[in-house]
Amino acid sequence: MEERHIREAVKENYAKTVKQDGSCGCSRNAGDAEAEYIRSAGKAVGYSERELKSIPEGANLGLGCGNPVALAVLKKGDVVLDLGSGAGFDCFLASNIVARGGV
């Protein structure tokens, strides 16, 4: 598959996921099985249960593929720029670490 076709396929799938209420666990009406899948996916890439519970409901879309906060070695006062394409999942986690003097 050509690079432009891959980019278009990814773009279409992300757009479809975001536009369809509840398609990825991002609505409050997501089924229990879907919500459990999203939690399991988060744990599989290294997020702790505490981290998963610390973010606002609906911020974990289950679309991530890693745990950048764990690799970043953040500390209080650091500045963080999230270039992701999700609902800010990692920004919420980072803000818990860098808050009060950080951004």
Q: For residue 4, what pLDDT is reported?
A: 81
Report pLDDT for 85: 64
Domain boundaries, the chain: 3-98
**Which pTM does this prediction carry?**
0.62
What is the residue type of 15? Answer: A
Alpha helices (H) in the chain, listed in sequence order = 3-19, 32-44, 49-54, 68-72, 89-98
CB 102 within 8 A of CB 80: yes
Predicted pLDDT of residue 21: 54
- 61 Cβ contact partners less than 8 Å away, ≥ 6 residues apart: 17, 18, 24, 25, 26, 38, 86, 87, 89
All residue ranges of the chain with pLDDT < 70 are 1, 17-18, 20-31, 84-87, 100-103
Q: Which pair of structure tokens corresponds to residue 77? A: 């006062």
Within 10 Å of residue 89's Cβ, how many Cβ atoms? 25
